Structures are given as C-alpha cells and as structure tokens.
Structure 1
Amino acid sequence: MTAPMKAAHEPVHDFLGLAGKSVLVMGVANKKSVAYRIAHTLEQAGAEVIYSVRSEARKESLAKLLANRRIFVCDVEQPEQIDQLAIDMKNQNIQLAGLVHSIAFADYPEGIRPFHETTRRQFLQAIDISAYSLISVCNALKDRLVKDAAVVTIGISTTRMASESYGFMAPIKAALESSLAFLTKSFSRFSEVRFNAVAAGLLKTSASAGIPGYVDSYLYAEKVIPRGKAVSTDEVASTAVFLLSPRSSGITAQSIVVDAGMSINYFDASVVQAVTSADVD
C-alpha cells in the first residue's frame, strides 16, 4: 500500500537535498560577488559553506560579512597554497559535497587594447588564475570530494562574441568551459563527480564595474534582453546551487546559459531602429 501524498499546502523540506552538506566556495570578494550570492543561497538551503579567499587581507575585509564561518586562505597563483588548502581540509576531516570555483582575473594595465596586442604575460596569467586553477584545485582536493560531489564554475554566456569590453577573457573562459568535459572524464575513473558551469550574461558586480567599457555593454544588454531587465546575480546563483544539488544529478560537462534570452534577441526591432536612425543622422 503506497503512502498518501502530502497535501499541496504542506511544505516540502530540503527540496534540493543540500541540508547538512559541506560546500567549498572560492572567490568571495565582497557582498556583490557571484561567489557570495551562491554561498548565501546555499546557506538558505541548509548547506554548510566553507570559504576560501585569496589573501589574509581579503579574509580580514570579509570578517564581518562571513562571521562565524570557516575561512581558508588560498591564492591559486601559488601551487603551494593549493596544496596547503588540501592539507588543512584533510586535517579538519572536511568532506565536500560541492565546490564552487568563482575565480577570474585579467590584467589591463593600459585599458582594453586590440586582442592581437595581448601580451604573453597577460594571457598566461589570466589562464592560470581563471582556468587552470579549476584543474589544479580539483586535483588537490579530489580526496576531499565525496563520490558524487558537484563542481561548478562561472563562465560567460558566449565565448564566440568578440566583445571589445571583455578584452581577452573570452578565449580564457572558452578554455575553462572545455576543461569541464575532460575533468568529468578523468574523474569518472574513480568517482561520479560532476563538473558544470553557469554561463552568465552581463552582471552588475564590483569586478565587472572595473572593466573599461563594461558599463555601456551592460546597459546595451538591458535593451536587448526581451524582458528589458538584465540578469541578476541571484539568478546566476540559483542556477549554480541547482547544479550543486542532487536534483541535477544527470547534468555534467555542461555550460548552462543564464542570459535572460539576450542571445535570441540581438535583432530586436527597436534596437535595430535606434542604430540605423543614428547612422542616418
């Protein structure tokens, strides 16, 4: 005899299956960070969030925001710090059901320049911090991840759009996105760990505000998005938390685009009219 279904008005607890599970979130800079909004949503879902930040100074600046949380320091440019993170987590017997990699950096000392003028140092530093760090961290922490853990990184809605306001980061994010399939395959030899990305549209964050020309692109996005409103950081965070949860157990090696439909609407009549009218003037 089957058990009776709950009435529609009765609450369903722990729908995402994250309560009591530990998730490491890397990349919180301030309360506007994508990483912080993911962490906040995870805590609302009942997960224990463990934080990793890039420096002692950053840890101090976040002391009030992340009060009473476990915080590790790990600068992913320093391999020894990644190794130490693994050691510290092992010493504290931490087992992770999830890992959030929300780390990206690009150096624009002279502002945005033509892509072909990107220097070797700029490109290699950006790919080290923004893409290779995912591989390095996952390798170091492989024994800290439970068998069916979920790893989520933050990509961009398209790596094929040659947006001048994003400098040379699109190829870097393309490398990050490509690595998901290879990580999924290699980890499948000993686990069921899943690797996915949230491919976010243009967001209003402190980091993005510092990119030359980004604000204008953000305002343009609001015009092109069908609903007339840009993607919010919380919308990206909610998708990331879903991908971290057992509810997404059948999804791996994927980039889930969260752009509120911008990619279907580049030729919106009102936008086209505004551009062509300006050309005539």
Structure 2
Amino acid sequence: MNPSEPAFDFLGLSGKTVLVMGVANKKSVAFRIAKILESTGVDVIYSVRSESRKASLEKLLAGRRIIICDVEKQAEIDALATTLSSDGTRLAGLVHSIAFADYPDGIRPFHETTRTQFLQAIDISAYSLTTVCNSLKEIFDRDASVVTIGISTTRMASESYGFMAPIKAALESSLAFLTKSFSRFSEVRFNSVAAGLLKTSASAGIPGYVDSYLYAEKVIPRGRAVETDEVASTAVFLLSPRSSGITAQSIVVDAGMSINYFDASVVSAVTAADID
C-alpha cells in the first residue's frame, strides 16, 4: 500500500459524527472510546456536565467541541439537542458513559438505601439515556448506534458496588424498550458494553472497590483485569455498521471472570484462611 493512501476504513465510521457523553479525565471509558473513534476518522463532539468539568478538560480535549449538559436538568438536555440541530449536525452514534451514586456514609446495606440516593442515581445513570435519546431523535441518522456502559452482571450482589447494580439493571432493561419504540420510525440500535471491574478514577472512589478489583485479577483466567481500552474497543465496534445486526444486547467484557469463580487456587486460599 502506498503510505500516502488512506487506510481501509474497516469499521465504516470515517467521516461520521458521534456524540460522547461522560468524559471526566484521561482514564474515563468515554475518553478512551473517543480516542479510538478519532483515530478512525470520526468527528467526536463531547458533552460534559458542567463548566468546571469543561475547564478541567481544557488541555485533554484541546481543540475539540465541548457542550455543557447536566443530564439532571431537562432544559440542558433540550438545549443540547437544539444546539446540535441548529448547526445541521447529524449523529451516527451516541456514547452514554454516565453514572453517579452518592455514598455520603460509605457503603451501607442495600435495604438502607435512601429514596434520595436511589432516585438520583437512577435519574442520572439510567433514565438519562432515555430522555437524551428522545431529545436527539430528530438528528440521529436513521441507522445510528447508541452505546451505553453497563456492568458485567447485575445479578451479583456485590457489596462493594452499593446500590448501583439495580440501577444498571434498569439501564440494561431499557435497551430493549428503546430499540422497540425507535423501530417505529428508524433503525437506531441500542446496546451496552457490560464491563468487568476497571481501573478508573470513578471506580477508585467507590468504598471497597479496590479490594474487589484485586480479587478480580485472581479470578480472571488470564491473571489480569480487564483493560479500559478493551471495553472501549467493544463500544467502538457496536457504534460501527459492522455490528448492524446487534441491538438490545449487553456485550459482556470481563476477560472470562464469570466462568472462573471457583478457581482452585482461590478456593484453596479461602478455605485455608477459614481453617486458620
């Protein structure tokens, strides 16, 4: 191949526009997704929750278009859609990498979750996907792809994750309903990357998460945790026309952790500790 010739666009994303919501810093899943998208020739538009977050990303996202949108405020979601529509933007994809849970007193038993905590978390982390997509529906390409970030299992009662697993379950369930309702007027697809434990700044702030992350490395067959770029690459595939037959699905990226909970070495370590 002549070095001056463009590389073959295997993913079919070059020249398209994707909105990425949720970049917090360079370790964010959203940022890694955006970097891969940009490397394939995608025009990435960034949406962040506040002016202060935008300011903190000034160097990281230098020269990029950044729009403020706090998903707790419907007016800002509507303003985001109006801004994009007014300049003729057409979206081939949306990345929804937004989650928030308030643990003011650390992780408490699930039955002690307060109404305020739960409703705020479900508003930001789950419902926001639905209301953002509704507001953006007129500027989605007919075959656009929407990808959100979930967790590898919503049935595992992981104490270190607090009350977020039920929230993520609601997010995951909404994929089928969004796919069905959008199918009345489009072929927009809705999928999730169900990620295993990651080393991100957001996860590090969850009480007890680091210990769970270290445990995951012991249980994963290959002996090392899932990397953020592995999750990001899967998201980019789901955003591309190469995944056109996939919708209303959660693709698990956990490096095989879910098949190996009874690894002999881990079981032996636990039983030996009980004997001691």
TM-score of the alignment, normalized to the shorter chain, above 0.5: yes
After TM superposition, list the pairs within 5 Å mapping 1:172-183 onto structure 2. 172-183=167-178
Per-residue deviation at 1:93?
A: 1.0
Equivalent position of 2:130 in the other structure:
135
Equivalent position of 2:193 in the other structure:
198
Following TM superposition, the consecutive aligned residue runs of length 4 or more in structure 1 with deviations greater than 4 angstroms are none
| Unmatched 5+ stretches in structure 1 | 1-5
After TM superposition, list the pairs within 5 Å mapping 1:190-229 onto structure 2. 190-229=185-224
Q: How many Å separate the matches in 1 of 2:218 and 2:269? A: 11
TM-score (norm 2): 0.98
The answer as to 2:247 corresponding to 1:247 is: no
Q: How many Å separate the matches in 2 of 1:73 and 1:166? A: 28
Per-residue deviation at 1:154?
A: 0.2
TM-score (norm 1): 0.96
Q: What is the identity, as a one-letter code, of the residue corresponding to 1:69?
A: R
The answer as to 2:114 corresponding to 1:109 is: no
Equivalent position of 1:88 in the other structure:
83
Per-residue deviation at 1:63?
A: 0.9
Paired residue secondary structure (1:231): coil
* Deviations, residues 141-180 of structure 1 (Å, cap 9, x unaligned): 0011000000000000000000000000000000000000
After TM superposition, list the pairs within 5 Å mapping 1:112-191 onto structure 2. 112-191=107-186
Alignment equivalent of 1:260, drawn from 252, 255, 266: 255
Q: How many Å separate the matches in 1 of 2:60 and 2:14? A: 21
Q: How many Å separate the matches in 2 of 1:130 and 1:180? A: 13
Deviates more, 1:64-73 or 1:255-264: 64-73
* Deviations, residues 89-131 of structure 1 (Å, cap 9, x unaligned): 0111110000000000000000000000000000000000000
Root-mean-square deviation (Å): 1.1
Alignment equivalent of 2:56, drawn from 55, 61, 65: 61
After TM superposition, list the pairs within 5 Å mapping 1:231-242 onto structure 2. 231-242=226-237
| Unmatched 5+ stretches in structure 2 | none
Equivalent position of 1:3 in the other structure:
none
Equivalent position of 1:15 in the other structure:
10
**Percent identity among equivalent residues?**
82
* Deviations, residues 177-232 of structure 1 (Å, cap 9, x unaligned): 00000000000000000000000000000000000000000000000000000000
Q: How many Å separate the matches in 1 of 2:55 and 2:87? A: 21
